[in-house]
Structure 1
């Protein structure tokens, strides 16, 4: 399982790399709303003041979690760059090791 905050952080990092890659490209794509659908479990520790944590299930893990309540959540994220009024542009090409 992966923490939801890690999933969003990794998505932000990937988008940041795509935005930087777009700077020297002639073809740009305007970045619009991003929709994620995730299978999650919830964890709440018994300590006073404890918070609920969302854990995202990795591929194939849902079947192994039959004794734990698994929920599906959908997130709609609207990306924006700090200090800019227009939507960011992205571009990118696969690295040599990606096919």
Structure 2
């Protein structure tokens, strides 16, 4: 059995920050004009991402149990079981990375 490939540093940092409830470190993983696409609702820039996260992600004490990862070109998709006080269930998080920052985190089923 082969070990999974390591996650890109900003993706690993964002996941770790979310699990620790650390909004500042979560935001630091994103480019200044980065975005979160939560099932078609797009939140662009750190202020908008913070508002979304406070209401629906870190602010809901999100937990993520990673069940798989895959990388294709600049996009790494993390499959996880989401827990906490908001949405609960399986989701995919597709992270697009440029340089050392996330430019897009797209959440799908």
TM-score range, shorter chain: under 0.3
Structure 2 length-normalised TM: 0.22
Structure 1 length-normalised TM: 0.23
Of structures 1 and 2, the one with the larger relative CO (CA 8 A, separation 6+) is 1
User: Larger % of strand: which?
Assistant: 2
User: Larger % of helix: which?
Assistant: 2
